[in-house]
Amino acid sequence: MATSSVESRLTALADLVVAAAKKKRDPEIVIPVRALSNVAFNEKRRIIEMKDATQARTFFNLGMAKKFMQTLLVADALAELQRTDCTTSLREIYYRTKHTLRDSTENTFDAQDESDPILEDLEVTLGALREELHVAAEGRGSVVGNIVLVDDGDTIDCTRAGKSGHTVASIVEEPDIRIRRCGADFILLVEKATQFNRLSEDKFWKRHNCILITGNGQPPRGVRRLCRRIHDEWKKPLYVLVDNDPWGYYIYSVVKQGSINLAFESQRMAIPDAKFIGLSSFDPEKHKLPRNVGIKLNDKDIARAKELMAYPWFQKKEWQKEIKRMLANGLKFELDALANKDFRYLTTHYLPKKLKDRDWLD
Amino acid sequence: MATSSVESRLTALADLVVAAAKKKRDPEIVIPVRALSNVAFNEKRRIIEMKDATQARTFFNLGMAKKFMQTLLVADALAELQRTDCTTSLREIYYRTKHTLRDSTENTFDAQDESDPILEDLEVTLGALREELHVAAEGRGSVVGNIVLVDDGDTIDCTRAGKSGHTVASIVEEPDIRIRRCGADFILLVEKATQFNRLSEDKFWKRHNCILITGNGQPPRGVRRLCRRIHDEWKKPLYVLVDNDPWGYYIYSVVKQGSINLAFESQRMAIPDAKFIGLSSFDPEKHKLPRNVGIKLNDKDIARAKELMAYPWFQKKEWQKEIKRMLANGLKFELDALANKDFRYLTTHYLPKKLKDRDWLD
């Protein structure tokens, strides 16, 4: 989507107010509803997506006037970002649009939790990703391996980016970031920095011709978008390596089909073909991990695991078995627990065996 | 310090036990005391450092036997890291050394909070930084600007590392990481990713010939060590850019003279010549920031600010004025609040004026 197009969509919001004013009508913005009621799992596309419900936001309505004003203020700031080709954060959007209304003590915004949802409203209304609106999310990642990126004119060969790798920006969209070449066979998305460090230090990406990428925890948007782009543009399979706990399953599921909260992004972020390469609840036994390196599931873990089992996207027989097994084990296992075998066990045994046996879940 | 030297110091611990056994004596390890009582600010060196108190850890003592055993287990794991030239995390050290004692239900370690302090004991006992022991801390940063690093044989020119930059590893020690060239005039250590992104996008480092580096919050050890190395090896001044709040002052003070908790690291981590380039409590007025983008100090902020004022390293007149002014303002200000002026205000006004006026605190 070209920048000019986003800018024109933003300007169109202002035009709509001008047009209404000229006709002495109440200006109205039609906004898709961002609520659980308007979200569904699309079985065919295998992503969580928004349904069609919308709501009107009008100005001549005591309950909506402030939000209407806020919507236009944020749209104005976003238009400024487009015009000046500048990227910012949610927090700065809040500061930029905050002021005290003339001859009053009323602020346009009192806290960031007022401006954040307005931005999400504008994302769905304009059909533009936050990244296209030039607003960066928090969180950065790192990448090493067989891929060459062009970032702001600089060519970055990730086979020569040291052990620590190139930083994955919060925004990895064209035209700023291009993928010039990708000779890898697959992408390995690693939840935690410890395992990324281990695999990078051991040059796992070289022996197995892949791309290693981490988001240091739940992958931030930039990491997800980069994986999606490599997957789409270069047709590379993606494997997700997470801890064996409900949070690990959740991280995988968000990468794969998107999240309920941000369902409108799934079509640009989700990777329905992503595979789960572990830790599986069956791995501790396969790899003879002692029970004392497992961590007892607490009540929250158990409740969360049961919740996950009920989601439409975890209905496959293998997934039900996987989650039931965790509950039966009564334990969760961190990837770090593989160090109990040997510091390099992940590199030399666990992953090679997984890949050889094609031992993953879909 | 060469790797062999660290390994031999680790092996010496085992030798000490063998020697004691041969003489039928109680083996004893002498460990410097890591406690507030054994920490002092060295006015001359301008760093927080440990004093000379030590304690003996012996095996034939019911209260110490377990800790003695744990100390040797961790030392054994650390020796393995040296022998195999492998780097790991605190969490994996815990998993590696955990097992159930034969014919018992007793674990060597029940939780990581038992193994972490043992590692710190070994750091001070052996006089080796955690990095030299091949244990990586959490947290990674990013760097762009006029510096060329060699990381694991790869040459990384940080003037060509895109907007997002090269990832700063958790461990940036020789011989893995070398600084091949540094043509910058200074280092700018930026607390938060938002400002790093802003300055990097605007190519601030090019116009002002510097190195931009961030740790995404409190700078992790790798970021501090890299700054220290550039400062020492290439004689570059360091400016620290943080929020105007007690936490910002604290971040600056840890970079400058080290922390009380990890006093034994100051001599390898602290940068006593570091300068504080803001946000200062006097900046909101200088830059005409409206009061409504300030955040009211809460009771904890006020207590913390008063605590900082009492530290020996904040006794300079200018610092007392600086902190008093924050208390008098009754407000703290985030760097993000500069966006209230203009999204690029930091790049085009705030920092250039600071540098021109030499408006920083020491």
Report the pLDDT averaged over residues A28-49: 94
State residue B221's pLDDT score: 94
Is B152's Cβ below 8 Å from some Cβ in A?
Answer: yes
State residue A347's pLDDT score: 98
State residue A1's pLDDT score: 38
Predicted TM-score (pTM) of the model is: 0.94
Q: Do A339 and B87 touch (CB under 8 A)?
A: no
- Top CATH class of B3-26+61-136 equals mainly alpha
pLDDT digits (tens, 9 = 90+) for A49-67: 999 999 999 999 999 999 9
Is B293's Cβ below 8 Å from some Cβ in A?
Answer: yes
CB-CB contact of B178 with B102 (8 Å): no
Coil, strand, or helix at residue A186?
A: strand
State residue A5's pLDDT score: 86
Look at residues B256, B153, B260, B168 and name the one whose alpha carbon lies nearest to residue B211: B168
Q: Do A290 and B100 touch (CB under 8 A)?
A: yes
Q: Do A95 and B340 touch (CB under 8 A)?
A: yes
Residue partners of B255: CB distance under 8 A and separation at least 6: B189, B219, B224, B227, B238, B240, B270, B271, B274
Residue B9: DSSP 8-state: H
Q: Do A169 and B164 touch (CB under 8 A)?
A: yes
Q: What is the dihedral of CA A279, A280, A281, A283, to 10 degrees?
A: -80
B335 Cα to chain A: minimum distance (Å): 9
Percent of chain B with pLDDT over 70: 99
First to last CA, chain A: 31
Task: Identify the band that residue B68 occupies on the pLDDT scale cut at 50, 70 and 90.
Answer: very high
The tokens describing B37, both together, are: 């009582």
Is B46's Cβ below 8 Å from some Cβ in A?
Answer: no
Q: Which residues of A are catalytic?
A: 95
Is A163's Cβ below 8 Å from some Cβ in B?
Answer: yes
Q: Is the pLDDT of residue B186 over 80?
A: yes
Q: Is the pLDDT of residue B286 over 50?
A: yes
Look at residues A225, A59, A82, A83 and name the one whose alpha carbon lies nearest to residue A141: A225
Q: Which has more pLDDT, B148 or A265? A: B148
Task: Identify the band that residue A223 occupies on the pLDDT scale cut at 50, 70 and 90.
Answer: very high
Is A111's Cβ below 8 Å from some Cβ in B?
Answer: no
Q: Is the pLDDT of residue B299 over 70?
A: yes
Query: Which residues numbered 204-243 in A keep a CB inside 8 Å of some CB on B?
Result: 216
Report the pLDDT averaged over residues B347-359: 98
State which amino acid sits at residue A21. Answer: A
Report the pLDDT averaged over residues B15-27: 95
Q: What span, in angstroms and rounded, lies between the C-alpha atoms of B177 and A277? A: 32
Q: What span, in angstroms and rounded, lies between the C-alpha atoms of A59 and A343? A: 62
Q: Is the pLDDT of residue B330 over 50?
A: yes
The H or E element that residue B205 is part of is: helix B204-207
Q: Is the pLDDT of residue B67 over 60?
A: yes
Identify each DSSP E strand in chain B by its residue range: 28-32, 39-42, 47-50, 54-58, 88-89, 135-136, 141-145, 147-151, 154-157, 166-168, 177-182, 186-190, 210-214, 238-241, 275-276, 295-296, 331-332
Q: What span, in angstroms and rounded, lies between the C-alpha atoms of B68 and A54? A: 67
Of A80, A160, A201, the CB nearest to B343: A80
CB-CB contact of A132 with A114 (8 Å): no
State residue B261's pLDDT score: 84
Is A156's Cβ below 8 Å from some Cβ in B?
Answer: yes
Is B21's Cβ below 8 Å from some Cβ in A?
Answer: no
Report the pLDDT averaged over residues A221-236: 97
State residue A137's pLDDT score: 86
The tokens describing B224, both together, are: 């501090």
- Biggest CA–CA distance in chain B, Å, is 75
Task: List helix spans (H) across chain A.
Answer: 3-22, 65-84, 90-97, 112-126, 193-201, 204-207, 221-234, 246-257, 266-269, 283-286, 299-310, 317-329, 345, 351-356
Task: Identify the band that residue A326 occupies on the pLDDT scale cut at 50, 70 and 90.
Answer: very high
């020697």: which residue's tokens? Answer: B19
Q: Do B87 and A201 touch (CB under 8 A)?
A: yes
pLDDT digits (tens, 9 = 90+) for A237-283: 999 999 999 999 999 999 999 998 889 999 999 999 999 999 999 99
- Mutate which of B164, B179, B202 to test chain A, going by most A C-beta atoms within 10 A? B164
Task: Identify the band that residue A3 occupies on the pLDDT scale cut at 50, 70 and 90.
Answer: very low
Q: Do B92 and A339 touch (CB under 8 A)?
A: yes
B279 prior amide bond cis, ω within 30: yes
Q: Do A194 and B151 touch (CB under 8 A)?
A: no
ipTM value, please give it: 0.92
Q: B268: how many CB neighbours lie within 10 A of its CB?
A: 20
Q: What is the count of residue pairs from A and B with beta carbons less than 8 Å apart?
A: 172
State residue B43's pLDDT score: 95
Q: What span, in angstroms and rounded, lies between the C-alpha atoms of B305 and B303? A: 6
State residue A11's pLDDT score: 94
For the segment(s) B141-357, the CATH number from 3.40.1260.10, 3.40.1190.20, 3.40.1360.10, 1.20.120.420 is 3.40.1360.10
Percent of chain A with pLDDT over 90: 94
Is B116's Cβ below 8 Å from some Cβ in A?
Answer: no
Q: What span, in angstroms and rounded, lies between the C-alpha atoms of B351 and B343? A: 14
Q: What span, in angstroms and rounded, lies between the C-alpha atoms of A62 and A64? A: 6
State residue B3's pLDDT score: 47
Q: Is the pLDDT of residue B25 over 50?
A: yes
Which chain A residues touch B334 with a CB distance below 8 Å? 91, 95
State residue B137's pLDDT score: 86
Task: List helix spans (H) across A23-171.
Answer: 65-84, 90-97, 112-126
Report the pLDDT averaged over residues A181-193: 97
State residue A261's pLDDT score: 84
Q: Is the pLDDT of residue B1 over 60?
A: no
Chain A nearest-CA residue for B202: A86
Q: Which residues of B are catalytic?
A: 95
Of A163, A216, A339, the CB nearest to B151: A163
CA angle A227/A228/A231 to nearest 5° reads: 85
State residue B158's pLDDT score: 98
- Mutate which of A95, A142, A147 to test chain B, going by most B C-beta atoms within 10 A? A95
Q: What span, in angstroms and rounded, lies between the C-alpha atoms of A299 and A293? A: 19
A169 Cα to chain B: minimum distance (Å): 5
CB-CB contact of B211 with B231 (8 Å): no
Is A85's Cβ below 8 Å from some Cβ in B?
Answer: no
State residue B168's pLDDT score: 96
- Environment class of A138 (CB within 10 Å of its CB; exposed 0-12, middle 13-18, buried 19+): middle
B285 Cα to chain A: minimum distance (Å): 17
Which chain B residues touch A337 with a CB distance below 8 Å? 95
Q: Which has more pLDDT, B2 or B205? A: B205
The H or E element that residue A154 is part of is: strand A154-157
Is A161's Cβ below 8 Å from some Cβ in B?
Answer: yes
Look at residues A333, A164, A93, A75 and name the one whose alpha carbon lies nearest to residue B168: A164
For the segment(s) A141-356, the CATH number from 1.20.1070.10, 3.40.50.300, 3.40.1360.10, 2.60.120.10 is 3.40.1360.10
Task: Output the CA–CA distances (angstroms, integers) from residue A265 to A82, A217, A224, A260, in the order listed.
Answer: 20, 20, 11, 10
State residue B2's pLDDT score: 43
């080796």: which residue's tokens? Answer: B128
Is B164's Cβ below 8 Å from some Cβ in A?
Answer: yes
Task: Identify the band that residue A138 occupies on the pLDDT scale cut at 50, 70 and 90.
Answer: confident
B164 Cα to chain A: minimum distance (Å): 5
Q: Is the pLDDT of residue A330 over 50?
A: yes
Which chain A residues touch B163 with a CB distance below 8 Å? 151-152, 169, 176
* Sequence spans of domains, chain B: 3-26+61-136, 141-357
Q: Do A169 and B168 touch (CB under 8 A)?
A: no
